[in-house]
Structure formats: structure tokens, C-alpha cells
Structure 1
Amino acid sequence: MLTTRFTEEFGVEHPIVQGGMMWVGRAELAAAVSEAGGLGIITALTQPTPAALALEIERCKALTDKPFGVNLTLTLSVNPPPYAEFRQVIIDSGVKIVETAGSDPTVHVEHLKENGIKVIHKCTSVRHALKAERIGVDAVSIDGFECAGHPGEDDVPGLVLIPAAADALKIPFIASGGFADGRGLAAALALGADGINMGTRFMCTQESPIHENIKQQIVGASELDTQLIFRQLRNTMRAARNSVSEEVVEILDKGGRFKDVKDLVVGTRGRKVYEYGDPEAGIWTVGVVQGLIHDVPSAGDLVRRIAADAETLLGNLARNVVVSPVTAG
């Protein structure tokens, strides 16, 4: 068994986290990951109201008695969701782990910590991770440039970002972006992380609530089949390469602004991709790691397989890599 600071701090068996994904992080998936010994996460804003989130948390509790968390993604918008109400639902529900992402989580961290809740904050740079550490989060998830969704504007891949974070942080951290199997987990641990966070890989599991067509689209895709959009707006987002994402890039390349593409990128279109299985219906996020995904197992089998493969790989490396003694010349 792979025991790390993360597994000990958060009370899970395997250092594997299912990231909170919009429209994907629902009770069945989160419970299956947690039941297998990982950390499953429900996505709060997938639910239309705080009351609906309370019901989703209860559904998850009915499916597992293992620890699971709730993602609360903080966005800057003219009409923001009722974050305080969502936060209170999480507190009242008895959930003890929250994953925050997006804007400054300080006010939420303060309230959550006052109620005995551990907080993981998603970051795309070491400087942001250090700020999260200063405000008192218990762990960070550090997202490399390979990740789906918003990878930040620094374009630093995990091979550099993970050891840089290991050098700078005192709290546990998990690596995100580019992970799909035991090789990735072993590599992340070797680079200094305390575990991994996966999104795209968990989209391709039996419990994932997205259309089978989209799961098969990911299985059949390569690492080249993603598109970076919003680069010109300094709000980079990695999405599946399709006719919509290519149109967005073309419009912005010609000097267009967000108002010129907002109808193409609206979230309701992306939700239809997952519901109806049409990969051309809108913008939907996926990581370059799709090139390493070749099957659609149960989430539990996936967690156990990755943990076992990583343990075997690390053991084999210890036995098979010979370190020759250095002699004075």
C-alpha cells in the first residue's frame, strides 16, 4: 500500500483523487472512487441550488461510508452563485473535505476551517500554491499545463511544476494534469507529490454520468486532439478539438473579443455534449492525457489498478535500478 502525507491527512487508502468536474462530479462517481479507497468529489455547482446539493450529498452518503469531498469552484461573474449558501450546506451536511478552485478562497477557507473541514485548493502555479498555504489550506492540487480546463497562463508542464512545488511547499500536495495510470502515479510520487488528481481519466469510467459516445470519443482520441482557447484573452482553457473550439480560436485570432464568442462557449451547450453524446454540440473540456486512455472500467477497478501498478513499478525500480558507488578519481 502506498502511504503518503496526503493519505494520512485525509484518511484515504490510496493517494488518488477524483477532481470535481462540472456536470461530471455526481454522487455515483464520487462514491465509487471513495469506496475503492480513493477520494471522490461531488461538484457543488453542478447542482442547480444549495438544496439540491444537500440531496446529492445524502445520495453519496447512502452509497459509501468512506470519506468524500465537495468541490466549490469560485468564479468572478456579474451574477455569482449563492456561495455562502452552498458553503453552509456543505458544513451542515457533515462533509469534512472541500476542494476549492478559481478565485481567492480566503473567506471560504476561514468558515470551513472553523467547522473542522479540511480544504484542498487547486492552483496552476507555485506562487498561488504558496498563497493558499499561507491562508491555511490543508493541501493543494497543483495543475500542470497538460490539464483540462484552465491551466493558467504560465504554460509550465508537470515535469517541472511538480518538483518546483515540492521544493517550495510545506503542506501536502497532489499533482494534476496528465495522469491516467500507475506510471503517472509513480512518477508524481518520485517528483515529490503526495498523490494525484485525475479528471479526464475518471470521465471514462462506468459510473461517470456522461454519454457513452463521449467516453468512446476520448478512448479513440490522441494527445493531439485538444484545443487551447481564450489564449488571446489571457484566460486559457483546454478543450476538446472540434468545430466549435476551432471557430472560437479563429474568431479571436482575427481580433474578436469574448462577446463575439460567448454564444459558442456558453456552458449549456457543453452540458448537452455530455447529456446527448454529440461531441460537436459545444465546448467541453478534456486533457491531453486522453491519449493514454484506452478503456472504460469501473471507477473502483481503476483506482485499485492504478494503485497496484504504481506500487509494483516503484518496487521494480528499487530492485532493478543499480546505483553504483562513486569512487574517488
Structure 2
Amino acid sequence: MLRTTFTEAFGIDHPIVQGGMMWVGRAELVAAVANSGALGFLTALTQPTPEDLVKEIARTRELTDKPFGVNLTILPSITPPPYAEYRQAIIDSGIKIVETAGSNPVDHLPHLKDAGIKVIHKCTSVRHAVKAELVGVDAVSIDGFECAGHPGEDDVAGLILIPAATRELTIPVIASGGIADARGLVAALALGADGVNMGTRFMCTAESPVAQAVKEQIVANTERDTKLIFRSLKNTARVATNAVSTEVAEIEKGGCEFSDIQHLVSGARGRTVFEKGDLDAGIWTAGQSQGLIHDIPTVAALVSRMVTEAEALIAGRLSEMTDMRVGAAS
């Protein structure tokens, strides 16, 4: 098995993570990821109340006895969710791994650390990752420009971002963005990462709770079938290309305020895409890794395939290339 400082510290078998995804990180998917030996995260804010989150954690525990975590994404909002109550629900439920994202998690860390919880913070730049280490997180997940969702405003792809981050950090680094198979896993490890995070790839599995039409569209899409929206608002998001994201991008070209596009990008409309399979009901997140996804396997089959093929790559092709260089040198 591929063992890293991350697998050892977090008590998992494989250096593969299914990060939090709004409307996607539910019990069936997370439990399947945990049972495969990888690390899955429920998405706290997918649950309408902290009490519902407690129930979803309990439901996940009915499906697996392996480690799993909860994602808590902290974003500025006119009417913010009751973050402290969600945090307390996580603590009271005995969760030992939390993934934070969005704003600096410094206000939440003392509460989580006092409860013996390990924290992974998602970042989109080296400077934010360094800050996260300084405030006390246990690992960072670094998002390259290829990723779904919010890749930041620096436009730095993983091939640069991953080694730049691992050069500066001493805590485990999880590579995120553009990874969907064994080749991405091996490349990330070669770049210095201790594991990989996949969102779009796990969304396109049998246990994923999104509609079958969404999964089939991911398989049909190529790496070119995403749109960058909210660029003019300095809040870039990568989403799947559809009628709505195309309309948003066109409106932005002429200059706009968020209020001009708010009706198009509401979370409720995106939820309809995932739950009803109406691909043009709203915007929905997907990364450039779509171009590497050609099937809808079970989670167990996906993780097993990735690990087996990664080990074969390391022991086979890469080892043979090393032997060839040694032979040529002698």
C-alpha cells in the first residue's frame, strides 16, 4: 500500500481524500469512501440545521466503522449560517477530523483542538497555506487552478502550486485539482504531496447522490467543458458549461454587479441540477478533470484501481526509466 505521513497521521489506508462538496457530501458517498480505505467528508452545510448534521453523522456511522470527517466551509454572508452551532454538533458527535475551507479557521481552531480534532484546511495559494500552518492546522489541501469550485484569483496550476507549497510547509500537503486517476496520484506524490483530494471524480461514482444525468454528462464532457464565472467580481468559480454558466459569463463581459446575476446562480438552482438531473436548471461545479473521467464505477472499484495502477506505475514504468538511465550512465 502507498503509505505517507498523511495516511499515518489520519489513520487511513490510502492517500486519497473525498473533500466536502455542497449537496454531494452525504452519508452514502462518505461511508463508501471510508470503507474503501480513503478519507471522506460529509458537508456540514448541506444539512439544513446542526441537528440534521448530527443525524447524518449517525447515519454514516451505521454504514461504516472507518474514519471519516466533516467539512465546514466558512464564507462571508449577509445572513451567515450558525457556524458555532454546526461546529458544536461536530464536536458533540465525536468527529475527529474536520476539513475547513473559505475564511481563515483561526476562530474555530481552539474549540476543535480542545476536542482532539485534526484539521485540514483548503487553500488556493502558498501564502494562505503558510498562514494556515502558522495558526495550527494539521494539514492543508492545496487547490490548483484546474479544480472545481473556487480556485482563487492567482491562476496557478497544480504542477507549480503543489511543489511550491510543499517546499514551504512542514505539515502534510494534499494535492487538489485536476486529479482523477492513478497518474494524478503518482504525479502529486512526485511533486511532494502526501495525498490527493478528488471532488469531480468522486461525484461521478455509483454511490454519489447526484442524479444519473449529471454523472453521464461528466463522462461525456471534456477538459474544455467548464466555465470560469465571477471573475469580474474577484470571486472566481469553475463550473460546468451549460446554458446558465454561459449566460452568466456573457453578462459579466459587459460588466455587472452580483445582483445582476444573483437570480441565475442561486444555490437552490444548483441543488435542483444535482437532485433532479436538469442540467440547465442552474450552475453546478465541475473541474477540468472531467476530461479524464470515462466511467461511473463504485467507490471501492475506483480507489482500488487507483492504488493498484499507481503502485504498478511506480514499480513498472518509472522504475524501468530509472534503470535505463543507470544503464546508460554505466
- TM-score, shorter chain, exceeding 0.5: yes
Structure 1 position 289 matched with structure 2 position 289: yes
In structure 1, the partner of 2:111 is: 111
Distance across 2 between alignment mates of 1:227 and 1:105: 29
Q: CA deviation at 1:324?
A: 3.5
1:318 positional shift: 4.3
Q: CA deviation at 1:307?
A: 1.1
Give the Cα–Cα distance (whole angstroms) in 2 for the partners of residues 5 and 165 of structure 1: 16
Which residues of 2 match residues 134-283 of structure 1 at below 5 A? 134-283=134-283
Structure 1 segments unaligned to the other structure (5+ residues)? none
Is 2:322 the partner of 1:319? no
- Please state whether the residue corresponding to 2:119 is helix, strand or coil: strand
- Provide the rounded CA distance (Å) in 2 between the counterparts of 1:115 and 1:20: 21
**Distance (Å, rounded) in 1 between the aligned partners of 2:294 and 2:278:** 20
Structure 1 residues 318, 283: closer, same or farther in 2, change over 3 A? closer
Distance of 1:199 and 1:7 partners within structure 2: 19
Aligned to 1:63: 63
Once the two structures are superposed, what CA deviation does each residue of 1:11-41 show, in whole Å capped at 9, x if it has no partner?
A: 0000000010000000110000011100011
Corresponding position: 1:91 with 2:91:
yes
Deviation of residue 325 (structure 1)? 7.9
Mapping for residues 27-106 of structure 1, pairs under 5 Å: 27-106=27-106
The C-alpha deviation readout for 1:138-181, integer Å capped at 9, x for no partner, is 00000000000000000000000001011111000100000111
Instruction: Tell me the CA shift for residue 317 of structure 1.
Output: 3.4
Taking the aligned partners of 1:179 and 1:249, their CA distance within structure 2 comes to 25
Measure, in 1, the Cα distance between the counterparts of 2:316 and 2:125: 32
2:304 corresponding residue in structure 1: 304
Post-superposition Cα deviations, 1:102-156, rounded to whole Å, max 9, x if no partner, equal 0111011121011100000000000000000001000000000000000000000
* Residues in 1 aligned to 2:166 and 2:314: alpha-carbon distance in whole angstroms: 19
The aligned counterpart of 1:21 is 21
RMSD: 1.2
**For residues 319 and 136 of structure 2, what CA distance do their matches in structure 1 show?**
39
Taking the aligned partners of 1:175 and 1:186, their CA distance within structure 2 comes to 11
Q: Percent identity?
A: 65
Q: Which runs of no fewer than 5 residues in structure 2 stay unpaired? A: none
Distance 1:315 1:168 in 2: 29
Amino acid corresponding to residue 114 of structure 2 in structure 1: E
- Count of residues in correspondence between the two structures: 328
d(CA) in 2 for partners of 1:80 and 1:110?
Answer: 20
For 2:264 and 2:104, the matched residues in 1 are separated by 28
TM-aligned CA deviation for residue 292 of structure 1: 0.4
Deviation larger for 142-151 or 253-262 = 253-262
Q: 1:233: how far off?
A: 0.7
Q: Which amino acid aligns with 2:252?
A: L
> In the aligned structure 2, how far is the partner of 1:30 from the partner of 1:308?
21
Establish whether residue 5 from structure 1 lines up as the match of residue 5 from structure 2.
yes
Aligned partners of 1:79 and 1:221: how far apart in 2?
36
Deviation at 1:326, TM superposition (A): 9.6
What's the secondary structure of 1:131's corresponding residue?
Answer: helix
Give the counterpart letter for 2:250 in structure 1: E
Return structure 1 stretches of 4+ with deviation > 2 angstroms. Answer: 322-327
Task: Give CA deviations for 1:58-114 in whole Å, capped at 9, x if unaligned.
Answer: 001111110000000001001100000000010011110000000111011121011
1:319 Cα shift?
2.7
Amino acid in structure 1 at the alignment position of 2:295: D
From the superposition, tell whether residues 166 and 317 of structure 1 become closer, same or farther in structure 2 (CA, over 3 Å): farther
SS for the counterpart of 1:323 is helix
Q: Which amino acid aligns with 1:141?
A: S
TM-score after normalising by structure 1? 0.98
